[in-house]
Amino acid sequence: MPGAEDLVVGIDLGTSTAKVLVLTASGEVVGRARATYIQYRPRPGWVEQSPDDWWDAVCRAVRESLRSVDGRRVRAVGLSGQLNGVVLVDERGHPLRNALIWLDQRAAEQAQRVQSEQTELLSRAGHGTVTGVHVLPKLLWHMENEPKLAERTRYILFPKDDINLRVTDEVATDPSDPGAVAMLDMGRRNWAYDLLDALGIPTAWLPPVYESPEVIGRVTQEGAVATGLPEGTPVVAGAGDMAALAVGTGVVKPGTGCASIATAGHVAIHLDSMPDAMDERLWLMCHAVPGKYFWHGLVLTGGHCLDWFRISFGQAERAAAQLLDVDEYDLLLSNAARVPPGSRGLLFLPFLDGVATPYHDAAARSAFIGATSLHRKEHFVRAVLEGVAHNFRDSFEIAASMGVVIDEVRTGEGGSRSKLWRQILADVLGREVVPLRELDCSALGAACIAGAGAGVWRDLESAVEAAVHREVPVAVNAQHQAAYEVGYALYREAYVALKGLFPKLSG
């Protein structure tokens, strides 16, 4: 292995922030930075971002991350990007319009049409339910509503691929992005040409597919000037953010899984091969590890639930935090830590904006159930943490029912900073949970993918061994686990009981 002086750069292009990590070959983070960008909402349900805003943020963040290191030592660059966004580019590689991102719901009608008319081809390609979130119906919306732009389109790119094009002048993608948007033949890990032909999507629009660690080009002179990266540095295909998250949490071999608590919560459970049977309650994803897969579970408003509660009801903690110069989250959580498991009979359904896995119910809503005059704010806070943990458990229960063995669960991203939330997660899952040192897991995964592709590490497993550092595991408290067995059953029963009411509340 090359010496520790070699560096790799991982870039994660998220929904609101570009995050950059610089790693040594021994796996230590020696540079980091982030830069934000905005969303544009021209109509209700329409959510767009400017690829030029992405590029500006990436350039600023990369330059900042390299400020304290010798950039000439960078040996590889890898990108991770938000899923289910689409960029239309012309012959020169310039965007023709803002990108429709995953939050955009304008293609709901097209999604219903694809689902009803192409069920067999979707199933044959390894896909289940198609919704307005997916890029596939978004492309149909473009073709039907913006035909002149469609005529000028040369390629369709996913968010990370637009940045790769600007850095290298090369058009490419990896299996994880089209695999997540219902456009890939999951078994062959290449485009689902039969499905796309049936829908009239031009195959000339499709970039070539490379495995995530494959080098697709090198930093051009123009890319070097813009970013500060050395000209000629290898750039790998990279991965969608969930595949990069799986790498950055060390979910690269059988028996491993993660429960990541960010704005949304994410579950990734490693699969060594395509499953024999599909289960539409989870999403099958192509891994960044060549030839591998993982089950993906989505807790739609995971960490956002606590943030929503803090903003809506945490005024006293906010004022006290400013006075005492402490973190308002710490005040909320320290009080909640004194509440017994089960929050004295208070239950929370964490469905602020609907529920993804396992129910896939856009009409679902959050609810506090069981409140009495004895409950105080700290009970509600703990109930929020417990409700989110119950939704995480759903994905692990489904995987176990399919015979998937999970020996170790890791946790990362911002929500895992909370000692209380980590303990609740372990107790609800009924299994030891391993925190990770680095919480920007998708950026870390992108760096690992880059280093593996450029030979800094032998392969992705070696990259993970070097760069993904485990902290002290959180053991299960048996007494708490028993309480949460009851709580989990009540959580599931509560959803069933309220399911018929939710659409009426949604108007």
- Would you name the residues annotated as active-site residues? 241
Query: What separation in angstroms does the CA of 30 have from each of 22, 25, 104, 290, 323?
Result: 6, 11, 36, 28, 34
Which DSSP string corresponds to 122-158?
A: HHHHT-----TTSHHHHHHHHHHH-HHHHHH--EEE-
Structure tokens at 228: 């500060």
Q: Where are the beta strands (DSSP E) in 25-109?
A: 29-36, 48-49, 74-81, 87-89, 99-100
Record the tokens describing residue 132, joined without a space: 């307005």
Q: Please return the burial class of 314, using the count of CB atoms within 10 Å of its CB with bins 0-12, 13-18 and 19+.
A: buried
- Give 462: exposed, middle or buried? Use CB within 10 Å, 0-12, 13-18, 19+: middle
- The token duo for 233 is 């540095």
Nearest Cα neighbor of 243 from 438, 449, 459 is 449
Sign of CA dihedral 222, 226, 227, 230: positive
Q: At 347, which helix (H) or strand (E)?
A: strand 347-349
Helix ranges restricted to H, 13-152: 51-65, 108-117, 119-125, 135-145, 147-152
Crossing angle of the two packed helices 108-117 and 135-145, in degrees rounded to 10: 110
C-alpha distances in Å from residue 410, one per residue of 251, 346, 425 = 8, 28, 11
Listed residue (312, 337, 370, 352) closest to 491, CA to CA: 370
Q: Which of 397, 414, 419 is nearest to 473 (CA)?
A: 419
Output helix, strand, coil percentages for the chain, rounded to the nearest 5.
40, 20, 40
Cβ count near 264 (within 10 Å): 17
Four-residue CA torsion sign, 365, 303, 17, 242? negative
Residue appearing with tokens 């980091």: 32
Q: Which amino acid is at 423?
A: Q
